[in-house]
Structure 1
Amino acid sequence: MSLPQPVPPSWKDLGKSSNDLLSRDYPIGFVQLEVKTSTPSNVAFKVSGKNNDKTQVIDGDIEAKYTNKPHGVVLTQAWTTSNLVRTTLEAENHLAKGLKFDLNTILAGNGSAKSAALTSVYKQPGLHTRAVLDLFKGPTLTADTVIGRDGFLLGAEAAYNVTEGKVTRYAAAAGFSAPEYAVTLQALNNLNTFSASYYHRVSTDVEAGAKATYDTKATTQGVNLEVGVKSYLDSAAFVKAKISNTGILGLGYTQALRPGVRTSFGLALDTNRLNEATPSGPAHKFGASITFEG
């Protein structure tokens, strides 16, 4: 008798473990402050601001999120410094168990831009499928499905432009996921970009991962490779390091100062230019992030 199958990850979460290892907790090239609070009435607030070194522009937004768990409804609304209003309405387990609907809208304060997308997600043991209808772009219908059994995963995605009557994007993926490690192979961008990633929890204190990407449409042929590792110093701090085949070394350090207060620092170095007296260019960047949560 086979064991009950878990719900597989969504299409966008395939390879998430390795992607998070190689991209998260590296605040490089910006300084960010984020404050999260919640109320007893199930309303959560988030205020964030980011100063980008490249654009020298401070971007920020304020977000309010109301959750009604008994009725499976979540309403989120945010207002950004770009004068955009984002609204998301989520409803889950109403028509059927495992079925979720999302309505996401974006409206500019001056009415110059707008978007709306209706998303349906259906999750069952061994199946995770999603359909997104972008009402203003196309309209375009995007569907993806991931099936899983005994750790093996197969997924596919396709986008169909309703007005033009043709498929505009398609992709496929395969992988294997276990509690200690995961391997993912993806063919994206109409099967023109190929990537392979792996994640391995070596021990309770050490995680390792890598990702290789090959783009058949790139002007410079070759495989881009990135390798990273994460090590917990104690229960409140960890360090991360990654390096790519182009010689860019990334370093990250995250420390929980107290419950609800976390700070992260990131550094990127071009190892090919370490001997320069005054390093410059897109590498050699520093950044920091502070998060308050209560």
Structure 2
Amino acid sequence: VVLFFASSIVTMAVPPSSTNVDQIVKDIFSKEFKTSGSMNMDTNRVTGTQENQYKWPQHGLTFTEKWTTENTVGAGVCVEDKITKGLKLSFDTMFSPNTGKKRNILKTAYEREYLNAGLDVDLDFAGPTLHGAAVDGYICWLGGCQMTYDSAKSKMTQGNISLGYKTENTQIHTNIEDGKGFFGSIYQKVNDKLETAMNMAWRHDSDTTSFGIAAKYQLYSSASISAKVNNSSLLGLGYTQSLRPGIKLTLSALLDGKNINAGGHKLGLGLEMET
């Protein structure tokens, strides 16, 4: 893993992780359309997940349990800021009784003023797979890399390089993935009510290009609407309403503009509860 270090005059707070560098753009495109359950109208198949967390703050411990309608169960434990400040260690396990398939992941993350680095180990019986990443911040600039090494195949299977620029109201992010594709995104907070975003991608191995635009508008303190459209004529619409503290309702739709009169459109209903 290549780590990008800056000098001691860095003023940026802890940078985001490599998977969250453009998270605010992902939220505008995706978060308003995400639910914890779904139903396929063509097959009448319903899927969903249930996750619970139990925290023991005086010891820095968090226990997690997860269940899905695909009959997959999972559990995890996380300890934070106990060995040293900024270090987070966690272990997650997933098990499917139907197939007997198991997955165990050991995760480490380290955060400090100008560095956010992590190393995850997927404990596969054929040989562990290592996922490493690091993001460094200097003033308003972000630079980082991400890699995956498959010990069973004795080769690197993924290598990404990212560069970003972040201010209070603007974010720009670019990423080169495995030397085969270029990805970029722009976020702009126009005012206290309106946020906009754009993303684009080009892959030279398949010579394909894609792009999309999205916006989120805060109607009032407890409700917002959002919309997105891409070059494949997919139109997404969403409405989010906070019913009361800790309870949020989301309605969403994804329409295929090329086949308005045909099937394939998606509707979503999400209810998010926090206690």
Normalized against structure 1, the TM-score is what? 0.84
| Segment drifting more, 244-253 vs 176-185 | 244-253
Q: Is 1:52 matched with 2:59?
A: no
In structure 1, what is the equivalent of residue 94 of structure 2? Answer: 106
- Aligned counterparts of 2:228 and 2:256: Cα–Cα separation in 1: 12
In structure 1, what is the equivalent of residue 4 of structure 2? Answer: none
Q: Is 1:180 matched with 2:169?
A: yes
User: Shift in Å at residue 252 of structure 1?
Assistant: 1.1
Task: Map residues 123-138 of structure 1 onto 2, 5 A cutoff.
Answer: 123-136=111-124, 138=127
1:257-283 alpha-carbon deviations (Å, 9 max, x no partner): 333332222223333445xxxx1143x
Q: Is 1:240 matched with 2:198?
A: no
- Aligned counterparts of 1:98 and 1:253: Cα–Cα separation in 2: 36
Pick one of 153, 174, 178 that aligns with 2:142. 153
Structure 2 counterpart SS, 1:25: helix
Structure 1 spans left out of the alignment, 5+ residues: 33-47
In structure 2, what is the equivalent of residue 225 of structure 1? Answer: 211
- Aligned counterparts of 2:14 and 2:272: Cα–Cα separation in 1: 31
User: Shift in Å at residue 229 of structure 1?
Assistant: 0.8
In structure 2, what is the equivalent of residue 5 of structure 1? Answer: 12
In structure 1, what is the equivalent of residue 3 of structure 2? Answer: none
Alpha carbons of structure 1 residues 285 and 80: separation in structure 2 relative to 1, 3 Å: closer
1:183-220 alpha-carbon deviations (Å, 9 max, x no partner): 000112x12121110111110000000000112233xx
User: Shift in Å at residue 54 of structure 1?
Assistant: 5.1
1:156-181 alpha-carbon deviations (Å, 9 max, x no partner): 01111223322111111000111111
- Aligned counterparts of 2:127 and 2:190: Cα–Cα separation in 1: 46
Pick one of 247, 271, 275 that aligns with 1:290. 271
- Aligned counterparts of 1:18 and 1:149: Cα–Cα separation in 2: 21
User: Shift in Å at residue 55 of structure 1?
Assistant: 4.6
Structure 2 counterpart SS, 1:24: helix
User: Shift in Å at residue 110 of structure 1?
Assistant: 4.7
Structure 2 spans left out of the alignment, 5+ residues: 1-7
Identical-pair percentage: 28
In structure 2, what is the equivalent of residue 144 of structure 1? Answer: 133
Q: Which amino acid aligns with 2:26?
A: N
Task: Map residues 62-211 of structure 1 onto 2, 5 A cutoff.
Answer: 62-110=50-98, 112-136=100-124, 138-188=127-177, 190-211=178-199
Aligned residue-pair number: 267
Structure 2 counterpart SS, 1:70: helix
| Segment drifting more, 14-23 vs 252-261 | 252-261
Structure 2 counterpart SS, 1:156: strand
- Aligned counterparts of 1:109 and 1:270: Cα–Cα separation in 2: 37
1:39-84 alpha-carbon deviations (Å, 9 max, x no partner): xxxxxxxxx5432335532223433321111111111112333222
1:118-144 alpha-carbon deviations (Å, 9 max, x no partner): 111011111000001111163111111
Structure 1 counterpart SS, 2:33: coil
Normalized against structure 2, the TM-score is what? 0.89
Q: Is 1:23 matched with 2:30?
A: yes
Alpha carbons of structure 1 residues 248 and 74: separation in structure 2 relative to 1, 3 Å: same
